[in-house]
Chains A and B, each alone.
Chain A
Amino acid sequence: MILEINGLTKNFGGLTAVSGIDIKVNDGEVLGLIGPNGAGKSTFFNLITGVIPPTKGKIIFKGKDITGKRPHEIAELGIGRTFQLNPLFPNFTVLQNVISSFQIRPRSNWLDTFFNTPVYRKNEAYILEQSLEILNLVGLYKVKDELAKNQPHGYQKMLGVARALAIKPSLLLLDEPIAGMNPDEIDNTIEAIKRTSQRGVTIILVEHNMKILEICNRVVVINFGQKIVEGSPQEIKENPEVIRAYLGSGHDTKH
Chain B
Amino acid sequence: MGSMIAARDSSSRRKNYTQIILYGILICFLLFIPLFFQSPYVLHLFILTLVYIIAAASMRFIMTSGQIPLAHAAFLGLGAYVSAVLSKHVGLSPWLSLFIAAFVAMGVGIFISFPFARLKAFYYAMVSLFFGVGLLQAIESLGKLTGGLAGITAIPTLFNTASKVPYYYCFLALTLVSLVILYRFEVSRIGWNLKAIDQSYLVSSSVGISEVKYRVLAVAIGCFFVGLAGGMYANYNVTLSPSSFDSSVTLWMIIYVTIGGMNNFSGPIIGTAVLFLIPQYFSGLKQYAPFISAAILFLVIFMFRNGLVCIPGLLMAFYKRKKSTSKSR
Q: Which residues of A contact B (CB under 8 A)?
A: 49, 51, 70-73, 75-76, 80-81, 83, 87-93, 95-96, 99-104, 108, 110, 113-116, 120-121, 124-125, 127-128, 131, 144-145, 163-164, 166-167
Contacts and interface: CB of A to CB of B under 8 A. Distances in A.
A83 B203 contact: yes
Question: What 9 A-B pairs come out closest when comparing CB atoms?
Answer: A128-B3, A75-B208, A71-B205, A103-B208, A124-B3, A101-B207, A124-B2, A72-B210, A89-B199
Interface of B: 1-4, 6-8, 184-185, 188-190, 192-193, 195-196, 199-200, 202-212
A99 B4 contact: yes
A121 B189 CA distance: 11
A49 B206 contact: yes
A80 B203 CA distance: 11
Given A108-B189, A113-B190, A121 B203 contact: no
Contact of B208 (A51, A72, A121, A145): A72
The B contact surface, by secondary structure, is helix
Contacts, number: 110
Given A100-B189, A113-B189, 7 more contacts: A76-B208, A89-B200, A95-B7, A102-B207, A114-B188, A115-B184, A120-B188
B5 to A, nearest CB: 9
Given A96-B7, A121-B2, A145-B7, A166 B207 contact: yes
A120 B2 contact: yes
Contacts of B8: 93, 145
Nearest to A113: B188
A112 B269 CA distance: 27
Nearest to B214: A72
B185 A114 contact: yes
Question: Which of B4, B184, B203, B211 has the most chain A CB atoms inside 10 A of its CB?
Answer: B203
Q: Among A87, A100, A108, find the residue whose CB has the most chain B CB atoms closer than 10 A.
A: A100
A89 B203 contact: yes
A71 B206 contact: yes
Contacts of B195: 89, 91-92
Of B189, B193, B196, B210, most buried by chain A (CB within 10 Å of CB) is: B189
A121 B3 CA distance: 8
A229 B255 CA distance: 60
Contact of A96 (B4, B188, B206, B212): B4
A245 B319 CA distance: 65
A75 B206 CA distance: 6
A209 B136 CA distance: 60
Contacts of A73: 210
Nearest to B205: A71
A167 B3 contact: no
Contacts of A103: 193, 207-209
A91 B199 contact: yes
A211 to B, nearest CB: 26
B227 to A, nearest CB: 20
Contact of B202 (A87, A93, A115, A144): A87
B1 A100 contact: yes
Contacts of A120: 2, 188-189
Q: Which residue among A80, A89, A95, A145 has the maximum number of chain B CB atoms within 10 Å of its CB?
A: A89
B7 A100 contact: no
14 contacts: A49-B206, A83-B203, A88-B199, A89-B196, A93-B7, A102-B207, A103-B209, A113-B190, A124-B1, A128-B3, A163-B203, A164-B206, A167-B207, A167-B208
A18 B208 CA distance: 25
A51 B206 CA distance: 9
A230 B208 CA distance: 32
A217 B2 CA distance: 42
A70 B7 contact: no
A167 B207 CA distance: 6
A81 B202 CA distance: 11
Nearest to A89: B199
Given A113-B188, A124-B3, A100 B196 contact: yes
Q: Which of B202, B207, B211 has the largest number of chain A CB atoms within 10 A?
A: B207
B209 A72 contact: yes
Nearest to B184: A114
B190 A110 contact: yes
Contacts of A96: 4, 7, 192
A111 to B, nearest CB: 11
